[in-house]
A and B are shown apart, each in its own frame.
Chain A
Amino acid sequence: SQTIHQWPATLVQPVGSPLSLECTVEGTSNPNLYWYRQAAGRGLQLLFYSIGIGQISSEVPQNLSASRPQDRQFILSSKKLLLSDSGFYLCALGVFGNTIYFGEGSWLTVV
């Protein structure tokens, strides 16, 4: 079965500091991978989509970037965090039938 691992689970970062969230998936190959964000009082917003190694598309202009160095690894990064980057970040795996499965999520608080 497919599993999604995401870390760290929680982190508190000062404004202007860098960010790296990692996601790995198991039990599948050539997955469609996504990063979503849930900000306070809002729904889930698609940030990045990747169909394969080195292939990233961005849905929303922002202070974040994503990379896919390996087939089953997806990384979300920032060089300098803003207060507005606070939120719950979710890595997700696309599966058959337009369904996606989410990881456990990472809580980011920028102070």
Chain B
Amino acid sequence: DQQVKQNSPSLSVQEGRISILNCDYTNSMFDYFLWYKKYPAEGPTFLISISSIKDKNEDGRFTVFLNKSAKHLSLHIVPSQPGDSAVYFCAASGGLGPGGGADGLTFGKGTHLIIQP
């Protein structure tokens, strides 16, 4: 049973436009959500996170929106740049402690974002 779903395996966006990556979850116990960016043959790097007590968090070009009632979150990248081309993972946590404790993070399968010039 996949608790975190990223239904778009890939997304192509023109440089300078907005990229919107979507993520859905099913576990109501999740209360912390994160986005990671991954280049080929490298470990994922942390981008941005949001607690369930908020509905929006912004960091530079990156904004994450959380809709708890719909169990949906999205990552907006504005404006999109060539260096944003990568695989983006959505992750969720309901555990206690650094890193989500014993439960760790639950990841989606990722969305491959391609920024076209």
Contacts and interface: CB of A to CB of B under 8 A. Distances in A.
B49 A43 contact: no
B4 A98 contact: no
Interface stretch (A12-20, A63-71, A77-85, A103-111): A103-111
A92 B102 CA distance: 13
Nearest to B2: A43
A102 B106 CA distance: 14
Main secondary structure of the interface of A (DSSP, over half): strand
Contact of B99 (A4, A34, A45, A57): A34
B99 A95 contact: yes
A105 B107 contact: no
B42 A57 contact: no
A98 B43 contact: no
Interface in A33-56: 34, 36, 41-46, 49, 51
Interface residues of B, number: 29
A21 interface: no
The contact size tier of chain A is: 20 to 34
**Most chain B CB atoms below 10 A, which of A44, A92, A103:** A44
B44 to A, nearest CB: 5
B64 interface: no
Main secondary structure of the interface of B (DSSP, over half): mixed
Interface string B85-106: 0000101010101111111111
Contacts of B101: 32, 49, 94
Contacts of A42: 109
A47 to B, nearest CB: 9
Contacts of B43: 4, 6, 90, 102-105
Contacts of A105: 41-43
Contact of A49 (B91, B102, B109): B102
B104 A96 contact: no
A51 B96 CA distance: 12
A11 interface: no
Closest 8 pairs between A and B when the two form their complex, measured CB to CB? A94-B99, A102-B43, A94-B98, A43-B107, A46-B104, A44-B107, A98-B93, A43-B109
